[in-house]
Structure 1
């Protein structure tokens, strides 16, 4: 009888837990639902980009200007007045810079063919070793064309007129810009309304305090980061513009503005600025050695900004993983083009700061963070060895 009881107890202990399978199925179902939600969100962002792009830009602009509104609020200026003045100043600044850059940029676009020809002539001595490779490429292309079937006809799809397309693009851009500035004005002028709505969404006082603390910390860190990076990029563009003007570079205002704008793209933006300045410098100066001074100066400014200024002012806590930065730039540039690429890193910082304030998302914030030194403590192992001895 005792043996039977032992055997039955062993069989009960060895029987699988019916709740384990249910928990595994729930985890699988949750993962599938999260994956489906992410895919649907990506499709929504892509197909509804005309709506989401200006809205997210407005939120980023509002977060950038929030520290200034908060500073003016402490000095007795109402949020509505300070928000109106800041948005009007932003519109005036963007319009003025666009007007000043429109002439040189249009001239550069119209002279693209001549710039390419001058660059080819200037680099002709370096092109001779590659002429044989180019000849082989042309021969292969000729063989490919002759190998096509004679009866195959090429079909060309006629595109719509240039003027209707340009008018539609201008109208869409104007609508998006209007949405950005008007929505950012409302967000800045709302004051503490957003915080009041968050407090009203929770029942207990503890939950209200925690939610308010998290939202305020996230908003403060993101707004401080965006404003600081914007000021740093503006300073970088000013220094580069003045330096190129001193070197005799044509249109230094264009390259200073390009450096400030493209610096929102870490690594990629600096490389693009250096390449553009190198091309224009090679066709603008007589000697190649003097022409290389301009891109060398831009490289020096980018190195000083990226290695010393930004880490010192912004801090190491918001440094991002390089792989995550490139993935974010590639994803948002595919999703929304050049504007999406400019918003990639600020949005990545928003996601990281948000994840750092929630325990369930801390692993995501850790993945987005830059690599940190891992300190391995050997004392517990040593203590174990001593105790074992």
Structure 2
């Protein structure tokens, strides 16, 4: 109901809303120039007056140029009449003429097949032949208009734009003069309960819109100049008019340039003596649009406009339906304001989700969704894209670990079925195996500067990932560093342990994986931990610290008191940070901390010169699943990382 009321208000109040919106957008465009004049010590009022006078002069010059070009084309149309008639005849011969010829042949063929009808004689009994019933021609003559009606008829098309321009300029002057006061009033009206959020939203909207209009205006003027010069060289009449038209229509994303191109191409096809003018005009618009869209605009403010392509098209259709051609030009900035509002107002977040260009799902959420859908191929494609700007261990921490935590929470809630759990394990193992050959190296990502008209906030930019942990080189350290990685009892702990083992090996450690079943209470006595120096327990249950995990850590500490005992994946508020961690060497929240802790432990032990010889009994498939054929219900047999 509220949406219907808002749409009705926009539609029926367009006569009032359009000048106000144009004035607000004009103030965004002039605000940087006013600030520049104020820095030159012009003062507030003189700066605003100078900026508005310059804007009025530019608008007047553009209007005069358009009027002069239209008048010139109207006066020169008789010169092109012969060419236009010749093109029309040519088109008719190719279309209508061919159709008439085809229909004539069909008609003659039907006459030969069907018998001839006898023509009815014209006599007194035939009503059609009687001249009495023939219709009489009637002519309607309007009275001659009065001088006042003539003046109103010719001046109304001119007075209406002048009236709108005057209102826009007056409102823009007051907005620029009282910009701070209006900002404070809006904050008081809408955001007094959260001054930080309201101020951030308004500053972001003002900054982005202002930079967008400045950059877009500069690009559009350049495109208009190129089109004008190119059409003049080609010989198209009214080159300046089409250049101005292209510059204005380019404010409509994606289709604005081609609307102007269609008009220019049709005109070139009509007035040109041949078809070469049409071809060269089409080539000019195509090359210009490709260069600007694929080279110049990305260099200035990136590929994105802050809006999804679908949102731009829908916004253009909606605003043009509400406000006509003016709405078509204003569709992008108006929709952008709604998107910015949705980013800072919780109840309007759906606007950012529907119309914004930011991904609807985070990389971690997308990772988990691909696991549920049993689509590891797409997850690997995503991983390859993310690994271009971050190290492998950062990908595992920021994407895979967070995605597996989503899955772990759903498992605890009991919403994951056995088949879904099997698919999650299989897909995750495929992803881990697909990243086996990827080195955990430093990725050089250049800092992206804030661009003139970018719609992305600095928080959206890819930040260079942190340097991966230093690699342990066994040949230089003089020690064969080995880690026994024990997975917890949780449904997804084997996956986390498999990732940890892969990272350990990439950093020069000899790592082996063992399932929890080998260290359960009934089988713990069979395990020989003599000579074990580094033990890493990996489990998502470390966050809740269940009794089985505390008992496992206590048994490991009792059987291997001299071993380095490292626990992950702990959360800062975990109960393991208390009494149980006294018996451990360190606790890790992420894979990075796990690797750093193990590398540090290996470096501390590198002076011993004694390799770990007790790991052979955990190697192979038995280390992963216990005795042959023994697997956990609902979990596939894990492969050695």
Alignment CA distance shift 1:267-1:211 (3 Å):
closer
Q: Does 1:257 align with 2:365?
A: no
TM-score, length basis structure 2: 0.47
Deviation per residue, 1:36-77 (Å, 9 max, x gap): 222222222222222111111101111122222234444444
- Name which of 34, 54, 57 aligns with 1:92: 57
Contact 1:50 1:176 in 2 (8 A): no
Identify the residue that residue 342 of structure 2 maps to in structure 1: 355
Q: Does 1:54 align with 2:22?
A: no
Identify the residue that residue 15 of structure 1 maps to in structure 2: none
Instruction: Give how far 1:169 is off.
Output: 4.0
Q: Does 1:278 align with 2:243?
A: no
Q: Greater share of helix residues, 1 or 2?
A: 1
Aligned 1:323-342 pairs, distance under 5 A: 323-342=310-329
Identify the residue that residue 231 of structure 2 maps to in structure 1: 244
- Name which of 213, 217, 222 aligns with 1:230: 217
Q: Does 1:310 align with 2:297?
A: yes
Alignment CA distance shift 1:216-1:127 (3 Å):
same
Identify the residue that residue 162 of structure 2 maps to in structure 1: 174
Once the two structures are overlaid, the 10-residue window that deviates more, 365-374 or 297-306, is: 365-374
Alignment CA distance shift 1:126-1:90 (3 Å):
same
Contact 2:340 2:352 in 1 (8 A): yes
Deviation per residue, 1:288-328 (Å, 9 max, x gap): 12441122112211222222322332234534233322222
CA distance in 1, matches of 2:493, 2:81: 71
Instruction: Give how far 1:240 is off.
Output: 1.2
Alignment CA distance shift 1:234-1:109 (3 Å):
same
Contact 2:269 2:275 in 1 (8 A): yes
CA distance in 2, matches of 1:60, 1:298: 28
Q: Does 1:299 align with 2:407?
A: no
Instruction: Give how far 1:224 is off.
Output: 1.2
- Name which of 31, 40, 51 aligns with 2:5: 40
Contact 1:80 1:189 in 2 (8 A): yes
Contact 2:49 2:173 in 1 (8 A): yes
CA distance in 2, matches of 1:66, 1:272: 30
Q: Mind listing any 5+ residue stretches in structure 1 that lack a counterpart?
A: 1-35, 140-149
Alignment CA distance shift 1:99-1:52 (3 Å):
same
Contact 2:250 2:257 in 1 (8 A): yes
Alignment CA distance shift 1:133-1:47 (3 Å):
farther
Contact 1:244 1:252 in 2 (8 A): yes
Identify the residue that residue 34 of structure 2 maps to in structure 1: 69
TM-score, length basis structure 1: 0.75
Instruction: Give how far 1:201 is off.
Output: 5.0
Contact 2:266 2:278 in 1 (8 A): no
CA distance in 2, matches of 1:311, 1:113: 44
Instruction: Give how far 1:360 is off.
Output: 3.1
Contact 2:73 2:237 in 1 (8 A): no
Q: Mind listing any 5+ residue stretches in structure 2 that lack a counterpart?
A: 105-133, 372-399, 405-423, 430-491, 496-634, 637-641
Deviation per residue, 1:100-136 (Å, 9 max, x gap): 2212213435777986874452254454342268659
Alignment CA distance shift 1:39-1:254 (3 Å):
same
Between Structure 1 and Structure 2, how many residues are aligned?
A: 342
Q: Does 1:188 align with 2:183?
A: no
Higher-RCO chain (CA-CA 8 Å, sequence separation at least 6): 1
Greater Cα radius of gyration, structure 1 or 2: 2
Contact 1:332 1:341 in 2 (8 A): yes
Contact 1:80 1:190 in 2 (8 A): no
CA distance in 2, matches of 1:112, 1:87: 37
CA distance in 2, matches of 1:280, 1:310: 29
Identify the residue that residue 367 of structure 1 maps to in structure 2: 354
CA distance in 2, matches of 1:344, 1:319: 13
- Name which of 247, 254, 278 aligns with 1:267: 254
CA distance in 2, matches of 1:315, 1:233: 16
Alignment CA distance shift 1:173-1:289 (3 Å):
closer
Aligned 1:20-169 pairs, distance under 5 A: 36-108=1-73, 118-119=83-84, 121-122=86-87, 124-131=89-96, 135=100, 163-169=151-157
Instruction: Give how far 1:95 is off.
Output: 0.8
Contact 2:31 2:210 in 1 (8 A): yes
Alignment CA distance shift 1:70-1:360 (3 Å):
farther
Alignment CA distance shift 1:353-1:113 (3 Å):
farther
Deviation per residue, 1:64-102 (Å, 9 max, x gap): 222222344444443322221111001111111211221
SS at match of 1:196: helix
Q: Does 1:289 align with 2:279?
A: no
CA distance in 1, matches of 2:51, 2:191: 36
Alignment CA distance shift 1:76-1:200 (3 Å):
farther
- Name which of 175, 195, 198 aligns with 1:208: 195
